[in-house]
Amino acid sequence: MCVLVHTLSPASSCPIHQHRPNHSVAWTSTAPVWTDTTIPLPNTSDVQGTIYWSPKWSSYVWISGDGFPNANFYISTASNPERPWTAAKLFYTGIVGVGSLPAYSAVAHPSLTDGTGDYIFIGWTRTIHNAQGNQVYDQPLVRVDWS
């Protein structure tokens, strides 16, 4: 699996046609398949997430939710993007919506920050009722300041 990091220069990012499985030191041109059990990052919740470099902690940061239907956000860090990753810790619980899609797609948005690593924006998708009583999509955006 190729890990693209927000703050790396284009020369440091991996080419689209190459992948690096988490367990491997070598790059390969064979794309991983979704059933490959070596793809998930250890100590993460095995759901979509955001990986970026944090200058504040001098480490890579993984932020994600714990999957549908919650808006729980977890964080894990590593000195190397391939591993080892620390055990994921819950750091924020957002308000879920209503209906069939209470909350999903929890992600971090490092590109919305000033790059210091002092804070992060997180967001998720949920359904809520609008003024007319219809279910509509809503995407809260929350700033989390690290102490």
DSSP strand E in the chain: where?
Answer: 49-54, 59-65, 72-78, 89-93, 104-108, 119-129, 135-138, 141-145
Q: Look up residue 5 and give its DSSP letter.
A: -
pLDDT of residue 72: 93
pLDDT of residue 11: 34
What digits encode the pLDDT tens for the residues 114-129? 999 999 999 999 999 9
Q: Look up residue 30 and give its DSSP letter.
A: S
What digits encode the pLDDT tens for the residues 27-59? 667 777 778 776 666 656 667 889 999 999 999
Q: Which of 1, 123, 114, 7 is nearest to 59 (CA)?
A: 7
AA letter at 37:
T
The pTM of this model reads 0.73
What digits encode the pLDDT tens for the residues 76-135? 999 988 778 898 899 999 999 997 889 888 999 999 999 999 999 999 999 999 999 999
Given a contact cutoff of 8 angstroms between Cβ atoms, the answer to whether 142 and 122 are in contact is yes
Dihedral sign from CA coordinates of 4, 10, 13, 16: positive
